[in-house]
Each structure stands twice: as C-alpha cells, then as structure tokens.
Structure 1
Amino acid sequence: MSLGNLTNYPYLSTRRVIMGSRGAVAASQPLATIAGMEMLWAGGSAVDAAIASAIALTVVEPMANGIGADAFALVWDGKLHGLNASGKSPQKLTLKQFAGLNAVPKYDWRAVTVPGAVSAWRTLWERWGRLPFENLFAPAIRYAEQGFPVSPMVSLAWKRLEQNYLSLVGKEFDCFKQVFFPNSRAPRAGEIWHSPAHTQTLREIAATGGESFYRGKIAQQIADFAADTGGYLTKDDLAAHKAEWVQPISTNYRNLTVWEIPPNTQGIATLIALNILSGLELSRYPRESAESYHLQIEAMKLAFADVHRYIADERFLAVTAAHLLSLDYAAKRRALITEQAIAVAQPGLPKGGTVYLAAADGELIVSFIQSNFTGFGSGILPAATGIALQNRGYGFSLDPQHPNHFAPGKRPFHTIIPGFLTQDHQPIGAFGVMGGAMQPQGHLQVVVNLADYGLNPQAALDAPRWQFVSDSTVLLEQTASQKIAQGLVQRGHNVQQNPDDFFGRGQIIYKQNQVLITASESRADGLALAW
C-alpha cells in the first residue's frame, strides 16, 4: 500500500515522520520507548524491545497499566500469531457475592481477576527473545529505583484520578494509596517519582522468569493479602493461569487486511464496522465532512450493538465470530443506515486505563497492549509489592442470561485490543489506539484514514476524532469543525464537544519497501523512534 505524502500534514504539522530500516519502537511514554530501543541496540529482537517497553510502562505510566494488568499481543514472524494473556475470575467468587447489585463494583475485590501481563512477557520471550529475560527489566528497575520525572500527560491523568482513589476506605486500599499517592496527592509534572515496592517486585519477577508471580513468593504475597482483606484470589487461581495462543481474526477492507484478537476482546467491533463501511463509497466525501463522520458513526453504532450483546469468553459464545463477520450479514446491517442517526441500535442476530506499544526489527513486528482497565485498576495493592491489581471483572454482566455473565474461572469481556495490517499476505504494520470503548473506534478511524483518505501514519493518528457513546450521543474532538458538528446535529446526532473528553492515544509502526515508518500521536506524551 502506498502511503500519503510523507512531507505534507493536514493535521498537527509539528510532528515529523520517523523512519529507519533496522528497528523501531513507539510507546505512549518516552522513557518506555527508550527502554525498548536499549534492547534493540543491545542486539535484542523486537519482542525483547516490546517486553522491555511494556515492563517500563508499568512504572512510568502507572495510571494506565501495571504489574497487575492483563495483556494481548499480535506478532508477525512470517505469519501472524495472537496471544491472549487475560486472566480469569477467582474460583471462590460466585454470583452469591453480588446479590442485590446491578453491576460489578469497580473498586472492590470482586472486580479483581488473575493478572496476565507477566505471563505475556514470559510467553513472548520464550518464543522470540534473544536477550536474557532479566535484561528486559533493567530500564524499569532503574526508573523505579532511581526515580523519573513524571511526564505532563501522565501527570494530568494521575491528577484526574486523585479523588477517585483517595476517597476509597478500607484496609485493602491503604497500601495502594501509600505507593501511588504518598503525599495524599498525585505527583505534578516534572516531579521525581520512584517506588521501592516496584523495584523489589520487578527484581523478583526477573530473577525467577515470572515463576514467582504465579507459583512462588509473589503469588503467596497476593494470596495472603487477599485472605487478610476480604479478597478472593488464591494461590490456586494464580497457578492455574496460562497465556494462550489464539488465531487472529480479520476482514479485508479496501486493499488492506485488518487483524484483531478474537473474543473475549472487543476487537471484532472494528471488523464488523469495517465490513459495513466496505459497501459504501466513503472516499466520495471529504474526510472532514459530516457525511463521512455520519457513516462511520452509524457503522460503529451497529457493530457495538452486536458486540455488547454477544461477545464474551469464547467458551460461552452463543454466536460465532464467523457469523458476525459474514459479508451477507454486513449487507443487512448496512441497509439500516439512512440519512438520519439511528436512535438506539439493536443487535441484529437472533438471541443465541490502557497502554499500547509497537516494536519492529528486520524479522518481527509486534503489536502489544496491556491495561489495568479503569485508571490504576481496583485500588487494591498487596503490601510491599507495587502490584496494582486490575479490575477487569468490572467488564462482566450480572445478567445470568447474558453470555458475558459472571462465573468463576471465566474471562470477562475485554476492551484492550492490539491491531495489525497486512496486504497480499505481507506485513504492513502494527497499530493501536488506547482507551476503553474508544479503542475499536480509534482502530476504525485510523484504518479509514489510511485506506480511504491516503493519510500517512502520523496524519492518520493526529486527525480529529469522534467517539460514539450510546443511543445517538456522539463526542467530537475540539479540532473537528463546527460545520461537521452542525451537520451531524441535522442528521439526528446528539453532539457534544468537550476539551476534557478522551479520544485515545495511539501508535503505529508501518513497513513499506523495507523502511519502518513509525508514529506516536500528540494526545499522549508518546515517542516514536527508529534506526
């Protein structure tokens, strides 16, 4: 696929294209990008670089991910491989513990599932790592032990979460607040933050190859803290966890093949929406037009209706991914799009805080994502560990008729999704956009920008974004024109523009003619480097 003009930016022209031929790393925080580049410069693989970046991000961007996070990856080594390292719910936790509730409590032991990120690091390294496993931890340990200056966007996000977490009451939350809010406030931009707890835990994981986290000293610490504070995770839950290789799912859009991780993630939403758009001539409308925005929003709205009704742990699916990705089905859904916004989209079939990074070298391309879910996660941190436990269980439904209903030993519906592009069975590159329900919408918009509008990778990330919320409500980024906003209102959309709305943070590594073209967008502190 030929890229848009690399010297012409229709958006945010302060950014420059970064190109190289030997290796590249793009992450949402500069120190994490440098951690990955250190591995490449030391002779490591792109997987070594990606893991080092991911580990560093647990320290330098802790309000979005952590050692207690989940992770997914797509890796190209001549063909595409998918890894699902998401954890399951505790075996001792049952629906009885949710009696009287309409939803899983967000900041609560009942939202904690087994953390899978450490297993992702180890599993990927075993297959493609070149450097000693311990070496991948060196930058993160350095940042945690010596401290690092908190970057501006990280500081802002940390500050926004301050009240949520400082207001939590209970001994299960005390250790968390001591680690992340030691002065009863978030650190300010430029302040040095360090964590002895992270240092100690990362050293233990490095020295044991991750074994301690699931079957050793750290597993015992987590289980003991849970038992002491009313939690449900046990050593058996941790020991039973295993990252799983999965077959990526895809669809063809224009001249690209777009790849996602299969359920239990929401990546299929992007593919469903692209299938709907594939029968529309989107490029006949300018990119910055109400017509183009309207069609994309409606396609995404219909995709979400299906995803929120049918997607769950794949062992519990009543509808297959193949059925949802059928082009005949896409045509039926496409026929529902008119000049006016669909007020409330319905599923069409019969009932049956995240970080993203990419890395590449001459052989491998890695698309990697990990997250605690909402902010720091559950607000629970086992004493002296630095492990902020995720609250992915919040993604479960408590409706016993829903395929995503809570059950012991089950994976919840997951929002985090790495993306990948190929063309004619050759890799084009890795991409991702962080941010809850914004993620498949960000994937859709990046692909449309590349395939329909010929934007180069940096411009494809920087272009103004929209976000479908629910019913007919749509958020528009401040950089979108008032003409677009007015045009959407005329079509029946409830349009809101707020400078504090979150429109994701993405990275891309794009391969063309053996050249690696990498980009990190301006919505984060991120950095893209190549050599």
Structure 2
Amino acid sequence: MRDFHLPGRSPVLASSGMCATSHPLAAQTAVEILKAGGNAMDAAIAGAVLLGICEPQMTGIGGDCFVLWSDTDGNMHSLNGSGRAPMALDAAELRATGETTVPPYSAHAVTIPGAIDAFCTLSDRVGRLGLDRILAPAIHYAETGVPVAPRVAFDWAKDEAVLQGSARDAYLVNGTVPKAGEIFAAPQQAEVLRRIARNGRDAFYGGEVAEDMLATLNALGGKHTAEDFASTKCTDTTPISSSYQGLDLIEHPANGQGATANLMLNILKHFDVADMGPWGTQRAHIEAEAAKLAYDARNRFIADADYANRMDHMMSPETATQLAALIDPGKAMPNATTLSEQVHKDTIYITVVDRDGMAVSLIYSIFHGFGSGIASDKFGILFQNRGAGFTLEEGHPNELKGGKRPMHTIIPGMLAKNGKPIMPFGVMGGAYQPNGHARFVSNLTDFGLDPQTAIDAPRAFSDAGDMKVERGYSDQVRSELADLGHNVSIPDTAIGGAQAILIRDDGVLEGASDPRKDGCALGY
C-alpha cells in the first residue's frame, strides 16, 4: 500500500470491466462501449481511434497497430496491423542518391497505414457492436474538438517543427501550437471515419480518401500506388513468450521488437536482481548492459517475419547465457556490437478487460512525434514514418524492399501465470519499450511491487551511448553510474508511459496508469 502522505496514484479497482490508457476521454469512451454491450475488442478500438484526436502527435489513422488478446477461454491471439513499403521503392535507389538511412521526414519513410485494416478486421471477426457504433465517439470528438491535455501540449510544442505543408494547417490551431485547454478539432478526419463506419476498410484504402493520400505522397516523390493501398492486409501471427520468476511474458513476434524484451529478461535471469537496491546503481547498470546486448541483437535480426530467420537464436536461453557472460558488473561496455559479435556470428497504448474475461492489449502509433510530418492535403491524414525503421544496409534482414514491413518499435504485452493470461500491459516510448517491458516485469517479480507502483517507479535507459536517468533517481546514483563509464544525462522528457490491468484471482480488475501521461484507468 502506498504512503498516503505522499503524492501518488491508488490502483483503480472494478469488477465488471476496465480500460487503462493515456487520455481520460478514451478511457471513458471504452468503458461506455463496454456498458453498451460491447466487448473488450470493441472498446479498445473505440478508444484507440479516439486517441488519434486526443493525442494526434502520437497516433492516428495514418499509422500502424499490433494487437494481443486473450479470448474468454484464455486462448492467446495476435494480429499484425503494420503496413508495408510501396512496391516500387528499394534501398538500392536511395543508396544511389547518397542516402545512408531512410530520410525520416520524406515520402520514402511513409509505409502504407495498416491500422485501419486491422481495426476493421478485428471489429468484424472479434467485436460485437460493429464499426458504426465503435467509431461514433471518435467522429463526434473529431468534429466538435477536444481540449488539449497538458502532456499532449508539451509534446506538441516539442514536435511541431516537423509539420510540413498542409500538415501545418491541419495540426496547428490558428497557425500556432495549441496550449493546454485549447480546443483541437479534425473535421476532415471525422468525414473519413464516417465513410469507414459506413463502408468499411475500402472507404480508406480506395476511392477519394486513398486518392487524396496518393496525390499528396506522389507530389513529394513517393512511389506509392493505388494497388499498394488496395492490397493492404493485416496478418494473423503466433505470440512468442519466455518466463521470468514465475511469470510468462507474452509478446508479438517480428516485425515488432517484442523478442528484445524476452531476450533482455533471459539475460537478467543470470543476475540476482532481487538482491539489488530497486533504484540503486547496481540494478541500473546491469539493466543498461543487458539492454545494450539485447538491442544489438534486435538491430541484427528483427525484420519482416518473411525475412527474420534468426528468431529462434534470439529467443534461445543459450544465447542469453552467452550474452550475460559479457557483462562486467564493475564497468560499462563501450560497444555492445563489437563485444557480442562472437555470440551472434512517439505511440499510444490502450488495454481493456471486459466482464467475460476477454483482455486486449493494443498499441497504435505513427512512430516519431507527428510521424513523417506529412498530412494528406484534403482530409488531413497524418502519415507515419515507419519506413525510417528500415536499414539501407545491403543484404541485411531489415533492408528496405518494396512490399516489405519494417522493424517496428511498438509492442503490446501480456503476462500469464500457470498458462492463464493475468495482465495485459504496455509501455510506450519508442525504442525504450522492450527495456520498459523487462523493467516492469522485474519490478513486479523481483521487488513485489503492485502494477501502479511498478509503473510509477523511476526509469533509466541506455540508448545510443546516452544513459538517460530520470530525476526520480538520486544524484548519487547518477554520479556512480558515470564512474562506471556510462555517459549519464537527465532526459528533457520523462521516459515512456505505461498502462496495465491485473486480473486478480478473486476476479477484481486492478488498473494502473502512468503519471508520465495524461491518462487514467477507469472501470465499472
């Protein structure tokens, strides 16, 4: 139990249904859908699409999604709602122009949006209420507007510079970045959603809406075609999992980076994390070193599932054992790629649980803050820049090729115990997400924290040579990490965000929501 003398959040408890996500309107909408007879999938889709209006810098209908869910019998399912590069685009073409990476704010970084096809498929296959009902809240708020929340306003100001062309008209209010409390509306998107509600996915991937997206991208040099949009299709996948301290961490397979979280936990098994101070130097150091090695493996192997042929190696306990042996408890490694050679030869999250026990873990993103910065001219559909997740390295599994899915950072999570799903959860924050999953699981198991306290706890993340350490850590820890060789900084933005719902043994639902975001858990 938390100390009620100090600031903090209590877990949210309910018995009939619950949603936890990063904006209150979306959480409220999801609960209303449950009360209206919808199931957890209906509620999750309704809330997710609305988040594209509440948090347009994070997500939208021009983005991708991944979904994990357990049905009412406890069976796990997963769906890949990520889009592909246009068929006519190839890494060789970009290399020939002198590019070494995919330019993140160009049309070449725009993969075909996959989320809408996934939402329509899941609504038809798993949901109860139909698109017309579950899209109604997002249509309403897109038309009438939403007051900009404080964290959203902070992100908006930070990311505004990437907006270009008609995106500046669609995502600025009277030409300026909206402040907290100002109203943001997207009436053109309301019209797109109305068409999808009436006519399904073809209203987005064909006709006037697709023509608008194509014209905008082609004018900027994109290779996208009408066939690229028309042929977009989500893919059923098989979840992957590993165990840690009595819990099974279930992840979505490649092209998402979920295996990175599994590998990181498998590495941490080789250390007595529970005997370390939870917010001390030793744990932060060991976690950082494990992350460096796990992320190096990610960068080598994770790609479109049709090209990712070393996933067994990445999930293998033997691989984790060999990598763990490279960690020096007294010194930070300077280059994980060199050391591990011998072994290897911005986002929203929503979770919903309904009265029948269905649990949905859904993550939905446009990648960078405001994605590519490009919006379609007529309908203001903001395009993701997931193509920046490709590499231009010739022969690499994740090399950019037409019709291929890029490596993705977004990963929904689910925890199970004794084969029974007990907690859908997610951690936002781009590259941080696998580290965030591993830390959340360790917080629960190694230190016995409840989900809310596990989410509230301070975070650190070693990324590209920068050891980001939140202000929740002491100056002494930062100093000691620097002495170990880490390049320590305090990030301007809190690291990620998280949501979780624990399905307790007594049937009560326990919701947790990250104070780093504007959202909450709500139940009934």
* Same fold, judged at TM 0.5 (above): yes
- What's the offset of the Cα at 1:185? 1.6
Q: Choose which of 516, 521, 529 in structure 1 pairs with 2:514.
A: 521
Q: Choose which of 197, 201, 205 in structure 2 pairs with 1:206.
A: 197
- The corresponding residue for 1:38 is 32
Identity of aligned residues (%): 40
Q: Choose which of 391, 400, 404 in structure 2 pairs with 1:410.
A: 404
Q: Where in structure 2 are there 5+ consecutive unaligned residues? A: none
- What's the offset of the Cα at 1:479? 1.0
Across the aligned residues of Structure 1 and Structure 2, the Cα RMSD in angstroms comes to 1.6
Query: What letter is aligned with 2:76?
Result: L
Q: Where in structure 1 are there 5+ consecutive unaligned residues? A: 1-6, 166-172
Q: Is the 8 Å Cα contact of residues 475 and 501 (structure 1) preserved in structure 2?
A: no
Secondary structure, aligned partner of 2:414: strand
1:355–1:219 CA distance, 2 compared to 1 (3 A): same
1:376 matched to 2:367: no
- The corresponding residue for 1:179 is 170
Cα distance in 2, alignment partners of residues 164 and 11 from structure 1: 43
Cα distance in 1, alignment partners of residues 321 and 397 from structure 2: 25
Cα distance in 2, alignment partners of residues 463 and 195 from structure 1: 36
Q: Choose which of 496, 499, 521 in structure 1 pairs with 2:489.
A: 496
Which deviates more from structure 2 when the two are superposed, residues 250-259 or residues 203-212? 203-212
The correspondence of residues 281-320 of structure 1 with structure 2, limited to 5 A, is: 281-319=272-310
Cα distance in 2, alignment partners of residues 494 and 192 from structure 1: 41
Residues 36-94 of structure 1 show CA distances to partners (whole Å, capped at 9, x for unaligned) of 11101101101011000011011110000011000001000121111111000001222
- The corresponding residue for 2:52 is 58
Residues 287-342 of structure 1 show CA distances to partners (whole Å, capped at 9, x for unaligned) of 121111111111111101111112111211242x2211111121111111112111
Query: What letter is aligned with 2:446?
Result: D
Q: Choose which of 159, 162, 175 in structure 2 pairs with 1:161.
A: 159
1:349–1:267 CA distance, 2 compared to 1 (3 A): farther
Cα distance in 2, alignment partners of residues 189 and 181 from structure 1: 13
- The corresponding residue for 1:68 is 62
Q: Is the 8 Å Cα contact of residues 226 and 233 (structure 1) preserved in structure 2?
A: yes
The correspondence of residues 465-476 of structure 1 with structure 2, limited to 5 A, is: 465-471=459-465, 473-476=466-469
Residues 338-369 of structure 1 show CA distances to partners (whole Å, capped at 9, x for unaligned) of 12111111244666721011000122100000
- What's the offset of the Cα at 1:448? 0.7
Secondary structure, aligned partner of 1:306: helix
- The corresponding residue for 1:271 is 262
1:247 matched to 2:238: yes
Cα distance in 2, alignment partners of residues 369 and 244 from structure 1: 15
- What's the offset of the Cα at 1:494? 1.6
Query: What letter is aligned with 1:505?
Result: G
Query: What letter is aligned with 2:106?
Result: D
1:52–1:10 CA distance, 2 compared to 1 (3 A): same
The correspondence of residues 91-490 of structure 1 with structure 2, limited to 5 A, is: 91-98=87-94, 99-165=97-163, 173-319=164-310, 321-338=311-328, 339-346=330-337, 347-348=340-341, 353-361=346-354, 362-471=356-465, 473-490=466-483
The correspondence of residues 500-511 of structure 1 with structure 2, limited to 5 A, is: 500-511=492-503
Cα distance in 1, alignment partners of residues 4 and 326 from structure 2: 33
- The corresponding residue for 2:76 is 80
Cα distance in 2, alignment partners of residues 355 and 383 from structure 1: 25
Cα distance in 1, alignment partners of residues 198 and 264 from structure 2: 45
Secondary structure, aligned partner of 1:43: coil
Q: Is the 8 Å Cα contact of residues 106 and 391 (structure 1) preserved in structure 2?
A: yes
Cα distance in 2, alignment partners of residues 228 and 100 from structure 1: 21
Q: Is the 8 Å Cα contact of residues 134 and 209 (structure 1) preserved in structure 2?
A: no
Secondary structure, aligned partner of 1:106: coil
- What's the offset of the Cα at 1:14? 2.5
Query: What letter is aligned with 1:353?
Result: D
1:22 matched to 2:16: yes
- What's the offset of the Cα at 1:148? 1.5
- What's the offset of the Cα at 1:272? 0.5
- What's the offset of the Cα at 1:486? 2.2
Cα distance in 1, alignment partners of residues 207 and 3 from structure 2: 52
Q: Is the 8 Å Cα contact of residues 18 and 31 (structure 2) preserved in structure 1?
A: yes
TM-score by length of 1: 0.94
Cα distance in 1, alignment partners of residues 113 and 6 from structure 2: 37
- What's the offset of the Cα at 1:224? 3.2
Which deviates more from structure 2 when the two are superposed, residues 451-460 or residues 125-134? 125-134
Which deviates more from structure 2 when the two are superposed, residues 121-130 or residues 219-228? 219-228
Residues 475-528 of structure 1 show CA distances to partners (whole Å, capped at 9, x for unaligned) of 100111122212222222121124x13400110011112111111110000111
TM-score by length of 2: 0.95
> Paired residues, what number?
515
Cα distance in 1, alignment partners of residues 275 and 218 from structure 2: 61
Which deviates more from structure 2 when the two are superposed, residues 271-280 or residues 342-351? 342-351
